[in-house]
Structure 1
Amino acid sequence: MTTNPSKTLVLVNLGGPRTSDEIEVFLRDLFSDPFVFDLPLPEFLRIRLARFIAKKRAPKVQTTYASMGFGGGSPLVSETEKQAERLETILNKLTKDTWKVIVSMTCGFPNIRDKEFLKPDPNTIYLPLYPQFSRSTVLSTLAILENKFGECPVGSGGYVPHFGLEPKFHQITARFIYEYFTDQLNQAEFLHYPKEKPNCDWKDLDLIFSAHGVPMRLIRKGDRYMEELKDSIKRITEELRLFGYRGNVHLSYQSKVGPAKWTEPNTIETISTLANQGKHIAVYPISFVSDHLETLEEIGEQFKELTWEKGGKSFVRIPALGVYQPFLEFLAERVIQGDRFIHHCLCKEKGGESLEGCRFKD
């Protein structure tokens, strides 16, 4: 890490418990967030219910984390730290400034609410690592920063907008998928690098873009998440066709919690249908840029077992982008550009509402 930086970049991720001792704290932060745990209840009841659910779920989640082999916790924080280290090197090479890149989490530790994370400005820049805008991720992050500093950071010069609709991101994602199937990736850079390969030409398999689901209640409030995913996948598929891919593409959603209606189709249903038809299946985590519980365990183990159980001919988990060099170079370019081109409320446009501290609010 550099010393006496002239610029600081703060990578923001959702978070994950680093050890089993942090699981309940992580869940409590998660379910206490009004943009994540969005229920039509008085605030004091919603918070009490959130804490009850966190305490109740902690033992079950602890078993799952223990099975992953990362010391009882999640690798998401350490994987984000790897991205930070690489980004710092890239930024220091690209600019004349001295950069320090640090990580923060909206749930768990290191917590974005801590004093070490300073107010966004042209020298302290925040980059949420969510490709698509969602109320439960990007708007949640902006609301936390607004609550901490008194104003939304969009337009401050210290914020990097989400990047999932950028043509270059589509090109990089398609190339990454192509390089995975043609054995061009450095396997040592990825956790639990998938050893399975499809027993067919990769250009003909069914490719599922699996995104983290959100309650339809958020979509009805104006969240453009589903629209952004559909548009992004359409563009990525067009780029994949240039590499010769000719198979069928599917969008589905994973990680549903509770009885409420969530975004559909569910990835479990999509895999079941395709496997019953004897298809060759590959799953790419379109809404994640770091491997963690939901990519390694849910996709890599549960979805694989489901494929075999339902009669699928092959199953492949494609890794998240992680420290893929072209991706990090793309992020560095976005950081240097920042939010200078934004002169309107992204939250209202993409999430359905402006925050109280919006500088563009009418």
Structure 2
Amino acid sequence: MNHKLKKTLILVNLGGPRTSDEIEVFLTDLFTDPFVFDLPLPEFLRLPLARFIAKKRTPKVKRTYESMGFGGGSPLVSETEKQAKVLENILNEKTTIDWTVKVAMTCGYPHIRDPEFERPNPNTIYLPLYPQYSRSTVLSTLSHLEKKFHECPVGTGGYVPTFARDSKYHQISARFIFDFFSGTLNETEFLHFPKDKLTTDWTNLDLVFSAHGVPMRLIRKGDQYMQEIESSVQGITEALKSYGFKGRSHISFQSKVGPAEWTTPSSLSLIESLAKDGKFIAVFPISFVSDHLETLEEIGEQFKDLALETGAKSFIRIPAFGTYRPFMEYLAEKVLLADGSVNECLCKKMGGESLANCRFK
């Protein structure tokens, strides 16, 4: 009797409250994470401050989520679950292995610390859904797993590295943008699919690649996030030229929280500047792979209103990948390779520091 080899893939995302009742828990997880809420304070001061900020921000955040129309929560978890289902089908189609794909979050539920998420190894593979490396996302994920299992996942064969500098990722991103403007995407597969009609040739647009910002304090610690974003945008822009793109590409950063110095230019200031010059503007969420608060509300509503009010000829939000088939197949390829060939500390190289239980020290 033949038994198929069983493997588990765990998609990891930052998370989002599924309902309004989970908002404070989500924010508390977010702000108590030392790789996200990185302050030069001892833990006995930082943690109470983080919990205070989470509690104070909950009512405001609750109102924002209520305005989105997803029952008072975020669609990020459910969108990640859709991606998991598609990836599971692809992996089972492409291999003779019996794949199960699960979803874990570093903030909120289902939390990565839960017992069902087992030790990373060649049969239990973790894929953080962040194209670019950052201390606040990837290093945070690795730290959660390192604390749980007393070893860093990098080099176990159970971790999929980031892919911001991969030319195939650039090509798929360019194809997605082209498919969007060509009208060949299946609108029903996307949340709040943009209905705006272009009033100019898309190849002459000002294309803004908006990334989630991070505090400059993280960059100064060795975070390669800005270089990762620049590499992604440069590669995608070059790939877009094969589809006839002749416009200008711009990099900007969104979602700043607090008074600290963050990565610049801000998306708000860049879009306002382009709008005042009467540009035709499109925004692609370069650091997100599924639509949620930052893409639907911040880009789709706030940025759009600002652009049109300050003189833009037009503004259009390009969706995040979601379950876009070429991207899902690309992720499946990355999973099958995993990190078996990694022989150095990616945390040190990309994030500026090694974790305590690093096998490459």
Contact (CA 8 Å) 2:164, 2:232: kept in 1 or not?
yes
Deviation at 1:5, TM superposition (A): 7.1
Partners of 1:251 and 1:291 lie apart in 2 by 19
**Cα deviation code 1:271-301 (max 9, x no counterpart):** 0000000000000000000000000000000
Query: What code does the residue aligned with 2:295 have?
Result: T
1:110-156 deviation line (CA, Å, top 9, x unaligned): 00001110000111000000000000000000000000000000000
Partner of 2:298: 298
Displacement of 1:197 = 2.3
Measured after TM superposition, the shift of residue 69 of structure 1 is: 0.4
Structure 1 residue aligned with 2:30: 30
Aligned counterpart, 2:209: 209
Letter in 1 for 2:36: V
Residue matched to 2:333: 333
Normalising by structure 2, what TM-score? 0.99
| In the alignment, structure 1 residue 158 sits paired with structure 2 residue 158 | yes
Q: Distance in 2 between matches of 1:5 and 1:182?
A: 41
Q: Give distance in 1, aligned partners of 2:33 and 2:161.
A: 21
Q: Indicate the residue corresponding to 2:42 in structure 1.
A: 42
Q: Distance in 2 between matches of 1:189 and 1:102?
A: 20
Q: Distance in 1 between matches of 2:160 and 2:141?
A: 12
Q: Which residue is equivalent to 2:225?
A: 225
Q: Which residue of 2 aligns with 1:245?
A: 245
Q: What amino acid is aligned across from residue 121 of structure 2 in structure 1?
A: D
Q: Aligned with 2:131: secondary structure?
A: coil
Shift of 1:4: 9.0
Q: Which amino acid aligns with 2:259?
A: P
Q: How many residues align?
A: 359
**Identity rate, percent:** 68
Matched-pair contact (CA < 8 Å) for 2:271–2:303? yes
Consecutive unaligned residues of structure 2, counting only runs of 5 or more, are none
Kindly provide the CA deviation profile for residues 219-257 of structure 1, in whole angstroms up to 9, marking residues without a partner as x.
000000001111110010000011001001000000000
The offset of 1:163, in angstroms, is: 1.4
Q: TM-score by structure 1 length?
A: 0.98
C-alpha distance after superposition, 1:152-205 (max 9, x if no partner): 000001100011211110000000000000001000000000001221000111
- Which one-letter code corresponds to 2:120 in the other structure? P
Q: Which runs of 4+ in 1 moved over 3 A?
A: none
2:18–2:73: 8 Å Cα contact kept in structure 1?
Answer: yes
Structure 2 matches for 1:160-309, cutoff 5 A? 160-309=160-309
The DSSP-based 3-state class of the residue aligned with 1:283 is: strand
Q: Would the aligned equivalents of 1:189 and 1:323 in 2 still touch at CA under 8 Å?
A: yes
Q: CA deviation at 1:264?
A: 0.1
Letter of the structure 1 residue corresponding to residue 175 of structure 2: R
Amino acid at match of 1:261: E
Structure 1 residues not aligned, in runs of 5+: none
The CA distance in 2 between the partners of 1:199 and 1:113, in whole Å, is 49
Report the RMSD for the aligned CA atoms in angstroms: 1.0
Partner of 1:90: 90
Assess if the C-alpha contact under 8 Å between 1:5 and 1:100 holds in 2: no
In 2: Cα distance, 1:235 partner to 1:131 partner = 13
1:341 CA displacement:
1.1
TM-fit CA distance, 1:44: 1.2
Q: Secondary structure at the match of 2:252?
A: strand
SS at match of 1:7: strand
Cα distance in 1, alignment partners of residues 198 and 138 from structure 2: 35
CA shift digits 1:24-64 (9 cap, x unpaired): 00000000000000000010110000000000000000000
